[in-house]
Amino acid sequence: MISYVTGILAEAGEKGVVIETGGIGYFMTVPVSLLAELPPLGSSVKLYTHFHVTEDALKLFGFKRPEDRELFRLLLGISGVGPKAAIGVLGMMTTNELKLAVLSDDEKKIARTPGLGPKTAKKIILELKDKFKLSDLNEALGVSQPVTEAGGSEREDALQALIALGYSPSESLSVISKLGDTSGMTSDQILSLALRRKVN
């Protein structure tokens, strides 16, 4: 119904923001992390919106980027995850951080969201894992070669093994992505090569 709102930032606080346009002030709930990205009050701002309708309320949610809104909508599609939990998740981590947490089965990171327990965090990972690809995160993490190229499934297995060994997801992805052509290699061979690279 409302795709985005462009106007003057009239108010900003923990509960949300008010954007004034055409003589109307639109209140929208936003991720807490977005507040730090907003310009000073009185400045022009554009937020992408999601209009949420329930039996007893009409609410507008605002996001800095379209991809943040799409991720919010994906979270809403998960049973047991309502708007409050979804906006809370996006307030705790960026879109790329959440994608990485899902792809690396980092349940603890997702469960840090206030009011969101381990059970729901597991459900989020289960429901969203097939929605994301490791290659989507390459640019954001500054890696040179997509994990999904040149022996994709074996590279992904090696990535998961590195994470299981205690390396951070972003560090593991970076190392695996810089290995070059690994076609024809087993996941164990790729893991061994990655570990040698890390030692060196």
Q: Which domains does the chain have, with CATH numbers?
A: 4-64 (2.40.50.140), 67-131 (1.10.150.20), 134-199 (no CATH)
Q: Which of the residue ranges 116-120, 175-179, 190-194 would you say has the lowest mean pLDDT?
A: 175-179
- What predicted TM-score, i.e. pTM, was given to this entire model? 0.74
CA distance 105 to 20: 41
List, for residues 62-78, the tens digit of each pLDDT value.
999 999 999 999 999 99
Paired with 28 in beta bridges are 17
CA distance 46 to 38: 10
Q: Which residues contact 196 (CB under 8 A, 6 or more apart)?
A: none
To which H or E segment does residue 182 belong? none
